[in-house]
Chain A
Amino acid sequence: MRRSAREVALDLVSPQRAVFLLLVVLLVAIVVVNPSFAEPGQLMRFLQRVAPVAIVAMGQFFVIVSGEFDLSMGSLVTAQVVGAGVLVGQDGSRTVPVLALMLAFGTLVGLVNGLATTFLRVPSFIVTLGMMLALLGAVMFWTGGAATGNPADEFRQIGRGGWREVPVLDFVPYAVVILVVLLVLALWYTHRPAGKLHVAVGDNVATAHHAGVRVWWVKTRAFVISSLSATVAGVLLVGYAGVHPSVGRGYEFTAITAVVLGGVVLGGGRGWIVGALAGAVVLEALFVLLNYAGVPSTVRSSVQGVIIIAAVAYSALDFRRRRSGPATTSPAGGDAAPAPGRGGDTSTTSPAHSGA
């Protein structure tokens, strides 16, 4: 990878890397508004805060890149948070068994999502929408409104604690360590044969099937990963903020937005997990910047909306250029005998892929 500085710079402003550019701009702006943000301790605390969202976005990444949606993540986070409060209670020794139970439950939810999508052939948008309603209803029904309190501190330390007085970094939250470990794991997985298949399935299901790929299993795996990531995020959030039925609300949309901001294409087949991660950091950094800048809380959603549309439109520029090939109006774009059939480049002319 010998590249000139100019190439690197061009790459950074290329639509595909838009999210990183946006991230840099936001971070610089934050530091300008509040220089203390650049202190290691502050940065670490910021990352601690980002960790749950980032982990959820990384989970959603696998589902989206496999060509599906997971709308049930927010409800699952809530269910796990409330469940942890009830199950651990004040007994710190239950931490490990409850963690195991939560992971098992997450796996189960992912399996149900995945199998209903692949075997029942219900669009994942609908499957996970149903799961979203049912999960939240079930946990509220079970706990009578989730009024139970925070679990024992041992459990909460996972999301709240960390190593203090570390040289240079000052404070290293466990959440950041978990985030880094999961990122490394995810990167490793995306380079494994099994991980690569998610992108392949999302790109072209028929090709994958003709190549002997167990499509149902690849997609189900993605749902299990996303449910597990929601579970981990739940564990961290219990620690970070405590138990409340509104924890996790809207996380599914935040995660999808983060993933799309990160250059991942809804409908699948294209994307980089680091982009999804960066998308999550961008959303949280935007929140921080608006806080620091004292922007009235009512107009913040407007700012978010504009930035989301602008960023995604900018990265769509690139997508269009690459997809349409040299013949500017050719629907098929690159072959002597292109079949203008559906197997080819429908997205060139497709106004919108709803994806699911």
Chain B
Amino acid sequence: MNRLRSLDPTVVVYLALVAALAIGALLVSTVGRNFFSAGNVRDILTGMSVLGLVAIGQTLVVLCSSLDLSVPVVISLSSLLAATTMAGDPARIVPAVLLTLAVAAAIGMFNGLVVTKLRVNGFIATLGTGLIVKGYLDTQYKGTAGTVPWEFQLLGATGLGPVPVSTILMLALATLVWFVLARTRVGHQMFAVGGDPVVARLSGLHVARPVIVAHVVCSLTAAGAGLLLASRLGVGSPTVGSQGGYDLLSIAAVVLGGTLLLGGRGSVWGTIGGVAIFAVLDNVMSVMQVNPFLKDIVRGVVIVAAVAVYTRRTLHAHRPRFGVGGPTDDGPVLGPADGAPATGQLPPAEEVAR
């Protein structure tokens, strides 16, 4: 446990992923299949693409200590806007994509403004936005609509060897967002605002700005997922977003990837790791032909168990002065002293100690 403690959270995520891969390969081999065959790898990677795109954006929102529950409807709306605008005409691909992204950005902007300016909790704000857009979808679209031209369908159907283009795009976007987080001011500000808004303000940041940007980017990546789905489906669909349960799953993947639900700490690569764990899990269970209901049980247990492993090693200790620590090595002894940890979300140790 102590060695685990010193590791970077992202490393732990990938250790978990390696473990999942190993167990998965073993299980899959028991039914006479090759886990690392091209088709299986493609299945896993395809499973990662859409959720990965959504989770990348969700990572930013969670980092800023908000949530986005409106991603499913943004995905559906994007697939419909894209497919109906393209209407089978390759020449309209570019305007369709631009329109889709613009609409998604507007929804994200709305979310961000409601959260920062009206001070509505992100959970409720995006739940409300989701309902509003859902009403529009139900009213405007009676089922699948539009046609995606062949050229655009290639996006979802093409692969470089076993690696689908969609996965490459998803990873490219992850790299881009990683870059934004690591190498742009707004990225740094997201960590600051999510970590401690007071410190952020005292350091001269405008705390609303990164939150709004995060929501916009999240809607944009959801739109990306919608475009990808439109490409794979060949049509737009008003239910494709809610079918995947992408709202809660993406949040689960983000947290599974080691990002703190309260914000301020996390990484895109951790999220990708979390998404990969889900994809491997799903792939193995599908190959094993596990009963679909049983799959849900396994997913539920894995989410909680994995996050439990991470959180056991999070809070850092108030530096001890004297070597012999005994139980106090466990950091701020706020809870376990009477046999019970106080809570899942203590203020960081530094605060408690001071």
Chain A interface (Cβ within 8 Å of chain B)?
Answer: 67-68, 71, 116-127, 129-138, 140-141, 201, 205-206, 209, 214-217, 219, 253, 256-257, 260, 266-267, 296-306, 308-309, 312-313, 316, 319-320, 331, 340-344, 346, 349-356
Q: Which of B123, B201, B296 contacts A134 (CB 8 A)?
A: B296
Interface code B221-262, partner A: CB below 8 Å = 1, 0 otherwise? 000000000000000000000000000100110010000011
Q: Does any Cβ of A come within 8 Å of B130's Cβ?
A: yes
Residue of A nearest to B69 (CB): A253
Asked if A351 and B66 sit within 8 Å, CB to CB, the answer is yes
| Complex: A312 Cα to B127 Cα, angstroms | 12
**Total A-B contacts with CB atoms under 8 angstroms apart:** 258
Residue of B nearest to A201 (CB): B343
Stretch at the interface among B87-95, B113-121, B321-329: B113-121
Asked if B120 and A316 sit within 8 Å, CB to CB, the answer is yes
Asked if B342 and A205 sit within 8 Å, CB to CB, the answer is yes
Knowing A122-B304, A123-B344, A351-B193 touch, does A214 contact B338 (C-beta < 8 A)? yes
Chain A residues positioned under 8 Å from B211 (CB to CB): 351-352
Asked if A122 and B307 sit within 8 Å, CB to CB, the answer is yes
Knowing A134-B300, A137-B293, A300-B135 touch, does A308 contact B344 (C-beta < 8 A)? no
Q: Does any Cβ of A come within 8 Å of B129's Cβ?
A: yes
Pick 5 A–B contacts, CB within 8 A, sort by A: A121-B312, A141-B291, A308-B128, A351-B211, A355-B121
Residue of A nearest to B311 (CB): A121
| Complex: A127 Cα to B125 Cα, angstroms | 22
Stretch at the interface among B74-82, B150-158, B346-354: B346-354
| Complex: A127 Cα to B307 Cα, angstroms | 9
Chain A residues positioned under 8 Å from B338 (CB to CB): 214
Asked if B354 and A341 sit within 8 Å, CB to CB, the answer is yes
Chain B residues positioned under 8 Å from A124 (CB to CB): 344
Chain B residues positioned under 8 Å from A304 (CB to CB): 128, 131, 135
In B49-92, the 8 Å CB interface with A consists of 62, 64-67
Asked if A299 and B139 sit within 8 Å, CB to CB, the answer is yes
Asked if B198 and A130 sit within 8 Å, CB to CB, the answer is no
Asked if B135 and A299 sit within 8 Å, CB to CB, the answer is yes
Q: Which of A132, A256, A319, A356 contacts B300 (CB 8 A)?
A: A132
Asked if A123 and B201 sit within 8 Å, CB to CB, the answer is no
B108 to chain A minimum Cβ distance, whole angstroms, is 14
Q: Does any Cβ of A come within 8 Å of B160's Cβ?
A: no
> Which of B133, B252, B262, B293 is most buried by chain A, counting CB atoms within 10 A of its CB?
B293
Asked if A216 and B342 sit within 8 Å, CB to CB, the answer is yes
A27 to chain B minimum Cβ distance, whole angstroms, is 22
In B193-238, the 8 Å CB interface with A consists of 193, 196-198, 200-202, 207-208, 211
Chain A residues positioned under 8 Å from B301 (CB to CB): 130, 134
> Which of B67, B115, B130, B296 is most buried by chain A, counting CB atoms within 10 A of its CB?
B296
Q: Does any Cβ of A come within 8 Å of B124's Cβ?
A: yes
Sorting the interface of chain B by its residue count into under 10, 10 to 19, 20 to 34 or 35 or more gives: 35 or more
A270 to chain B minimum Cβ distance, whole angstroms, is 12
The 4 closest A-B pairs by CB, nearest first: A302-B135, A137-B296, A305-B131, A134-B300
Q: Which of B122, B252, B340 contacts A215 (CB 8 A)?
A: B340
| Complex: A305 Cα to B130 Cα, angstroms | 7
Chain A residues positioned under 8 Å from B67 (CB to CB): 352, 354
Knowing A130-B304, A354-B67 touch, does A121 contact B341 (C-beta < 8 A)? yes
Q: Which of A122, A141, A343 contacts B347 (CB 8 A)?
A: A343
Residue of A nearest to B139 (CB): A298
Q: Does any Cβ of A come within 8 Å of B172's Cβ?
A: no
> Which of A122, A297, A299, A343 is most buried by chain B, counting CB atoms within 10 A of its CB?
A122
Q: Does any Cβ of A come within 8 Å of B176's Cβ?
A: no
| Complex: A157 Cα to B155 Cα, angstroms | 57
Chain B residues positioned under 8 Å from A303 (CB to CB): 135
Interface code B308-322, partner A: CB below 8 Å = 1, 0 otherwise? 100110100000000
Q: Does any Cβ of A come within 8 Å of B169's Cβ?
A: no
B287 to chain A minimum Cβ distance, whole angstroms, is 19
Asked if A125 and B261 sit within 8 Å, CB to CB, the answer is yes
| Complex: A46 Cα to B83 Cα, angstroms | 43
Asked if A350 and B129 sit within 8 Å, CB to CB, the answer is no
Asked if A352 and B115 sit within 8 Å, CB to CB, the answer is yes
Interface code B293-304, partner A: CB below 8 Å = 1, 0 otherwise? 111111111111
Asked if A352 and B121 sit within 8 Å, CB to CB, the answer is yes
Q: Which of B130, B297, B340 contacts A137 (CB 8 A)?
A: B297
| Complex: A309 Cα to B110 Cα, angstroms | 11
Asked if A215 and B351 sit within 8 Å, CB to CB, the answer is no
| Complex: A256 Cα to B263 Cα, angstroms | 21
| Complex: A134 Cα to B296 Cα, angstroms | 6
Asked if A320 and B119 sit within 8 Å, CB to CB, the answer is yes
Knowing A121-B341, A123-B255 touch, does A133 contact B297 (C-beta < 8 A)? yes
Q: Does any Cβ of A come within 8 Å of B345's Cβ?
A: yes
What 12 new A-B contacts, CB under 8 Å, besides A140-B293, A351-B211, A352-B211?
A120-B304, A125-B255, A137-B300, A214-B340, A301-B134, A305-B133, A309-B129, A313-B119, A343-B351, A349-B201, A352-B67, A353-B121
Asked if B198 and A346 sit within 8 Å, CB to CB, the answer is yes
Asked if A354 and B342 sit within 8 Å, CB to CB, the answer is no
Q: Which of A141, A215, A267 contacts B343 (CB 8 A)?
A: A215
Q: Does any Cβ of A come within 8 Å of B132's Cβ?
A: yes
Q: Does any Cβ of A come within 8 Å of B138's Cβ?
A: yes
Q: Does any Cβ of A come within 8 Å of B143's Cβ?
A: no
Asked if B296 and A136 sit within 8 Å, CB to CB, the answer is yes
Asked if A133 and B296 sit within 8 Å, CB to CB, the answer is yes
Knowing A126-B304, A303-B135, A352-B115 touch, does A120 contact B340 (C-beta < 8 A)? no
Chain A residues positioned under 8 Å from B314 (CB to CB): 121
Chain B residues positioned under 8 Å from A305 (CB to CB): 127-135
Asked if B138 and A299 sit within 8 Å, CB to CB, the answer is yes
| Complex: A356 Cα to B348 Cα, angstroms | 15
Asked if A296 and B119 sit within 8 Å, CB to CB, the answer is no
Residue of A nearest to B134 (CB): A301
Asked if B296 and A355 sit within 8 Å, CB to CB, the answer is no
Asked if A352 and B64 sit within 8 Å, CB to CB, the answer is yes
Chain A residues positioned under 8 Å from B307 (CB to CB): 122-123, 126
Asked if B308 and A354 sit within 8 Å, CB to CB, the answer is no
Chain A residues positioned under 8 Å from B294 (CB to CB): 137, 141
Q: Which of A206, A219, A257 contacts B334 (CB 8 A)?
A: A206
Q: Which of B297, B302, B308 contacts A120 (CB 8 A)?
A: B308
